[in-house]
Amino acid sequence: MGSRIGLLMVGHVDPNSVHIAGDYPELFGELLADRGIELARYDLDLGRFPDSATDCDGWLCGPSRSSAYDPLPWRTDAEDLLREIVSIEAPYVGVCFGHQLLAQALGARVEPAADGWQVGAHDYDLVDHLPWMDPPSGRITLIASHQDQVVDVPSGARLLARGTDGGCPVAGFTVGDRAWTLQPHPEFVPPLADHLLAGRIELIGAARVASARASLDRPLDRSRVATWIARFFGDAAGS
C-alpha cells in the first residue's frame, strides 16, 4: 500500500515556462512516479488548507517565487501548520521555499544571499546520514534556483547539507526523525531550468546565467533523492 502525501502548494512555476514540464504537481508527480506515493494537492497560497495535520500520511512543501519573509496573507497560517506537523511528528519534506518556510517557522533566519542568485547545477555536501538515505552518498548534485537562503539552523534541528562551494551554508536540515529539507530542486529537469534562466538574464545577470546554463549538462542526483523521499515516507508509514 502506498503513502498519501499532501503536496502543500505555496507557489507556481513561472507561467512563461510551465509548458516545459508542468507545474509543481506534475514535476513532483514525475519525480516520484512508480514509488508508491499518491500526491494530494492543497493550495495554501489560495487559502486551501488541510483540516488537520493528520489528514495525510506525510507532507511535501514545495517552491515559490515569493520570499518566505514576504507579508503573504496565508504565510502565518502556513507556518502554524508546519509547526503543528513537526510537533506531532508527521513526516515532512521541504524543498526550496518549503525548506525556508520551516526554518523560519522554527525561528531561524531567511534572508537574501550576500553573493546573489544561486542557479544551475550545484554540489552539496551531506554532513549527516539517515537510514532512509539509501543508496547513500556524501555529496549530491541538484539544480539550484534561489536568491534567498537559510543562514542558521533552527534550534533543535541538525544540519543535513551545505553548498560545497561555500555558498548556501544551510542547504538542508533535519528536525528529529520525521522532518527534513533541501534548498535545491530535485524536481527540476534541465530543460525547465534552462528556459527559466533564459528569461531571467536581466534579473540575474548575463554572466551568471551563461555559467548556470552551461552547468545543466552535468549528471544530477534526482533519482537518488527521489528514492530517499520515497523511502523516508515509506519508512515513516511503516513505523
**d(C-alpha 45, C-alpha 106), whole Å:** 20
Q: Are 191 and 13 in contact (CB under 8 A)?
A: no
| 168 is known as an active-site residue | no
In sequence order, the β-bridge partners of residue 6 are: 40, 59
| 99 is known as an active-site residue | no
| 96 is known as an active-site residue | yes
Q: Roughly how many angstroms between the first and final C-alpha of the chain, as a whole number?
A: 14
Amino acid identity for residue 100 in this structure:
Q
DSSP alpha helices (H): ranges in the chain? 18-21, 24-31, 75-87, 97-105, 190-198, 201-204, 206-215, 222-238
User: Which of the residues 96, 99, 122, 168 is marked catalytic?
Assistant: 96
User: Which of the residues 99, 122, 146, 185 is marked catalytic?
Assistant: 185
Q: Which residues are catalytic?
A: 96, 185, 187
